Structure 1
Amino acid sequence: MSFFEKIEEPLMSVGEKLNNNKILQILRDSFMLAFPLTIFGSITLIIANFPFLSDLIGAEAAGTLNALLGPASTATMSIATVFLCIGIGYYFSKDKGCDPIFGGAIALAAFILVTPMEVLHVTEEGTELIISNVLDINRLGAKGMFVGMIGSFLAAALYCWTTKKNWTIKMPDSVPPAVSKSFTALIPACLTLTVFLVIRIAFEFTPWTNIHDFIYEVVQAPLTSLGSTLGATLVAIFAVQLLWFCGLHGQIIVNSVLDPIWNALTLENLTAFQAGTEIPNIVTKQFIEIFTVGIGGSGMTLAAVLILAFICKHKQLRQVGRLALPAGCFNVNEPVIYGLPVVLNPTIVIPWIVAPIINVCIVYFAMASGLVPLTTGVTVPWTTPIFLSGMLATNSIMGGVIQLVELAVVFVCWLPFLKSMDKQLLKDYPEETQSA
């Protein structure tokens, strides 16, 4: 029994359990709820911070444009945790058979209830002022993401539990449905929010004074610090490639576990970019998507598709390459994964796993050295073609250049293995040979 046969069964078992886990599915769907909104915010942010914009229209005009478009990104990307809370409450309640719209509303209200409603403001003279009855927008974004996730799951679970216990007010059938549903949700909402009010009050007597700072210091900061390291990223990439090799959608499985960390890191970069301060994190959601998936899909197979389409001589390989090329330009590579195939194909397992790992190291050190700017936190759709996606994600042409370097590395890694496969097919099936 080969090495891959030995690990295939346990890997598939773990992968299927993660893929079918309800909590991870709800979390994944909830993150996607904000996708169209963050795309809108990203477009306006890209326009407002377009490279050399001040040289084209003047510094004053560029500043005015930035001020006019700034609220668009603030109202979408900077409050991502708000959308996450609504999504978790909605999808969790829907899965449990409860009214989802009330589940989403209660989850959001619970999150706001435990969020500090005061901001420390430092004046130009250095005086510190505490402004009450306001929400710090940072707590609605990256800093409050883990509180939002944990709190929304708890709030939705309490709401559904009390609803299933029939601790509700039943109205006659003659009452309009909207009114009846409101009364049905009344007692579950009150009980759920009472629990969160008690949590808020209890934390006021702790050294942290609120649950946000407690979760951030004890849970979120250590996890994001670990998730931002090169070692953790390489483990994640290796897991993605190995799961795909075994026939499981590695991207979905791994992302469902690590997306909370990567998204929090992305929002930290976005906050710094909007404030004009130094961007802190190399590894973010956009780092993973643009500089791994963005080179032709999982496994960075665009270069492999080009080799198949234009260098290999066997008819079968050329057809696979040319059929996969249009989709591959937009980072959709299922045609080559299942058409070559990549799945359970020991001939190409080495470049399939090694090429992405090499490229992640190249991009990481290029960004760490300052050769390539860090990702700004702008959401770039993963289907955006190579070079353009890298440039948009980093707000620099160097982001596109490093993607072309990655493409060349993948080409070099895949070429000898695909040529070997091509020669073997030409030997075994010479009647399929056509002139290149």
Structure 2
Amino acid sequence: MQLARINKGFQKFVGSVYIQSIQAAFYGAMPFIIVGSLFLLLGSLPINGYTNWLTGIVGKTGLNALNTGYSVCMGMMTLYIIIYMANMICQFKGIDRLLGISVSLATFLLASPIKINDGVSYLDLTSFSSAGMFTSFFTTIFSLKILELIVKHQNPKSMSAIPDNVRKAFTALVPIFVIVAIFIAINYFFAATEFKTLYGFFSTIIQKPFTHFAGSLPMMMLFTLIEALLWVMGVHGSNIVLSVTQPVLLALADENLKHGAHNIINIQFYSHYMKLGGFGATIGLCLLCLFWAKSERYKSIGKLGIIPGIFNINEPMIFGLPVILNPIFAIPFVITPLVMCLVAYFATYIGLVPVTNGVVIPWNTPIIISGFLISGWQGAVLNVVQVIICIAIGYPFFKKADNQAYAEEQAKKQAAETKEEPTA
């Protein structure tokens, strides 16, 4: 009963309009983030002499062109997040999507800092990067909530005789005026404070402290433990935890990429050093099933799971073993990602492996290749060592389950043979 109540509570949290919208926003913006990172990676592969070789071919102009691909994709990720998030909220709330997206973009721009240089005003593009994500969450949700309230109290029948395009324009006037006026008032309030803008407030009071807090080793361990326990209980733990941690992990990777920061924990660390074969680092169990299983059951699971596992897809393992509510496999499923976190963290901390470069590559990039792309050959070697550790952690639990399955299969086989023997 208690487990069902907890499950229901988590499902309600994940199913809320705004959590789903944030998740949808990141899924929608992720191709832009990855493509932008890949353009930057093309100009700086972790191979000695590569950049100089490429410069000799395309020149500095060519390298700058590759950097432009990064700037308009990952460098402006917040704008794409706003568009996808606003689109999803409008779908849920039944609001005109183009109006909702436009209002969300306008309010974010109003909340962003404006700099003046030689009498010329311009927007600070820093706020369009990962630094503006938390501000964008507030401006989008708050402005669309106001828009929803105003639209509900409008009477569309009063303009039924007006052409549709004209009617839409006139009905949008009131909500746009009210929302812009509210954010101008917010600007006026913050201009008199040390924060200067709403963006400055969220950046100083919320985003920076939360990023530092959530990007620490103890918090990464805690989030990982919660995620693992949710999976074991039958709840999609990654959806829940990532809705909180993904903005932070992306921001930490972006700091490494753009500003040369040394954030050990970030989205690359999480995706490619902790999720070998998928969450729970199940690649070890997959290899054990494939090469060391005596039972036909686990041999089949290994064959089914190995190809997806190489690409960090582990549903065949989670539901085939199974992991959910299974006291044998739940233990390595919880322990292994925590050990992977510690191994990768201290290998980086003591300098055996370089801090990840901040390039966001697809989460399903094959193991070892992913380690190379984010930390050079040392990252690839670390992946190999981690796979060996995954196998070692999972072996006693796998052996126990495999022996049980093998004994059951042999018992069934003997029973079938006994039935087939002719009676005297």
Residue equivalent to 2:149: 161
For the residue of structure 2 that corresponds to 1:398, the secondary structure is helix
Following superposition, which runs of at least 4 residues in structure 1 exceed 6 angstroms of deviation?
none
Q: Is the counterpart of residue 281 in structure 1 residue 268 in structure 2?
A: no
Q: Is the counterpart of residue 184 in structure 1 residue 171 in structure 2?
A: yes
Question: Aligned letter for 1:243?
Answer: L
How far 1:47 moved relative to its partner? 0.5
Residue equivalent to 1:302: 283
Structure 1 distance, partners of 2:407, 2:29, is 52
- Greater Cα offset, 154-163 or 6-15: 6-15
Aligned residues: 411
Pairing partner for 1:376 from 357, 381, 385: 357
Q: Structure 1 residues 57 and 24 mapped into 2: Cα distance closer, same or farther (>3 Å)?
A: closer
Pairing partner for 1:90 from 82, 87, 91: 87
Matches within 5 A, 1:421-432: 421-430=401-410
Structure 1 distance, partners of 2:278, 2:258, is 28
Structure 2 distance, partners of 1:76, 1:344, is 41
Residue equivalent to 2:64: 67
Q: Is the counterpart of residue 22 in structure 1 residue 27 in structure 2?
A: no
Structure 2 distance, partners of 1:327, 1:84, is 29
Structure 2 distance, partners of 1:354, 1:198, is 51
Report if aligned partners of 2:296, 2:406 keep a CA contact under 8 Å in 1. Answer: no
In structure 2, runs of 5+ residues without a counterpart are 414-424
Structure 2 distance, partners of 1:400, 1:285, is 17
Q: Could you list the per-position Cα deviations for residues 308-342 of structure 1 after superposition, in whole angstroms to 9, with x for gaps in the alignment?
A: 01111100110111111121121111111111111
Q: Structure 1 residues 407 and 226 mapped into 2: Cα distance closer, same or farther (>3 Å)?
A: same
How far 1:250 moved relative to its partner? 0.9
How far 1:132 moved relative to its partner? 3.6
Q: Is the counterpart of residue 195 in structure 1 residue 175 in structure 2?
A: no
- Greater Cα offset, 369-378 or 330-339: 369-378
- Greater Cα offset, 78-87 or 227-236: 78-87
Question: Aligned letter for 1:345?
Answer: N
Q: Could you list the per-position Cα deviations for residues 58-106 of structure 1 after superposition, in whole angstroms to 9, with x for gaps in the alignment?
A: 5584634321211110011011111122222222122111111211111
In structure 1, runs of 5+ residues without a counterpart are 1-5, 120-128, 273-277
Residue equivalent to 2:347: 366
Structure 1 distance, partners of 2:270, 2:412, is 39
Question: Aligned letter for 2:277?
Answer: G
Q: Structure 1 residues 387 and 264 mapped into 2: Cα distance closer, same or farther (>3 Å)?
A: same
Q: Structure 1 residues 431 and 358 mapped into 2: Cα distance closer, same or farther (>3 Å)?
A: same
Residue equivalent to 2:329: 348
Residue equivalent to 1:314: 295
Residue equivalent to 2:40: 45
- Greater Cα offset, 408-417 or 375-384: 375-384
Residue equivalent to 1:78: 75
For the residue of structure 1 that corresponds to 2:252, the secondary structure is helix
For the residue of structure 2 that corresponds to 1:34, the secondary structure is helix
Q: Is the counterpart of residue 398 in structure 1 residue 378 in structure 2?
A: yes
How far 1:25 moved relative to its partner? 0.7
Structure 2 distance, partners of 1:130, 1:282, is 39
Q: Is the counterpart of residue 113 in structure 1 residue 95 in structure 2?
A: no
When you count helix as a share of all residues, which structure comes out higher? Answer: 2
Residue equivalent to 2:134: 146
Report if aligned partners of 1:296, 1:331 keep a CA contact under 8 Å in 2. Answer: yes
Q: Structure 1 residues 41 and 397 mapped into 2: Cα distance closer, same or farther (>3 Å)?
A: same
Report if aligned partners of 1:117, 1:132 keep a CA contact under 8 Å in 2. Answer: no
How far 1:130 moved relative to its partner? 6.3
For the residue of structure 2 that corresponds to 1:222, the secondary structure is helix
Residue equivalent to 2:223: 236
- Greater Cα offset, 17-26 or 223-232: 17-26
Q: Structure 1 residues 58 and 84 mapped into 2: Cα distance closer, same or farther (>3 Å)?
A: closer
Q: Could you list the per-position Cα deviations for residues 86-127 of structure 1 after superposition, in whole angstroms to 9, with x for gaps in the alignment?
A: 2222221221111112111111110101212106xxxxxxxx
How far 1:406 moved relative to its partner? 1.3
Structure 2 distance, partners of 1:399, 1:200, is 46
Structure 2 distance, partners of 1:270, 1:190, is 39
Q: Structure 1 residues 228 and 427 mapped into 2: Cα distance closer, same or farther (>3 Å)?
A: same
Q: Is the counterpart of residue 134 in structure 1 residue 122 in structure 2?
A: yes
Question: Aligned letter for 1:362?
Answer: V
For the residue of structure 2 that corresponds to 1:82, the secondary structure is helix
Structure 1 distance, partners of 2:30, 2:303, is 31
What is the root-mean-square deviation of aligned Cα atoms in Å?
Answer: 2.1
Report if aligned partners of 1:19, 1:252 keep a CA contact under 8 Å in 2. Answer: yes
For the residue of structure 1 that corresponds to 2:130, the secondary structure is coil
Structure 1 distance, partners of 2:62, 2:412, is 60
For the residue of structure 1 that corresponds to 2:329, the secondary structure is helix
Residue equivalent to 2:387: 407
How far 1:226 moved relative to its partner? 0.4
How far 1:296 moved relative to its partner? 0.5
Structure 1 distance, partners of 2:356, 2:167, is 49
Report if aligned partners of 2:43, 2:54 keep a CA contact under 8 Å in 1. Answer: no
How far 1:397 moved relative to its partner? 2.0
- Greater Cα offset, 407-416 or 52-61: 52-61
Residue equivalent to 2:274: 292
Q: Could you list the per-position Cα deviations for residues 267-314 of structure 1 after superposition, in whole angstroms to 9, with x for gaps in the alignment?
A: 222222xxxxx3231111222112222x10111111211110111110
Structure 2 distance, partners of 1:206, 1:169, is 45
Q: Structure 1 residues 183 and 174 mapped into 2: Cα distance closer, same or farther (>3 Å)?
A: closer
Report if aligned partners of 2:44, 2:51 keep a CA contact under 8 Å in 1. Answer: no
Question: Aligned letter for 1:113?
Answer: L
Q: Is the counterpart of residue 266 in structure 1 residue 253 in structure 2?
A: yes
Structure 2 distance, partners of 1:9, 1:335, is 24
Question: Aligned letter for 1:269?
Answer: N
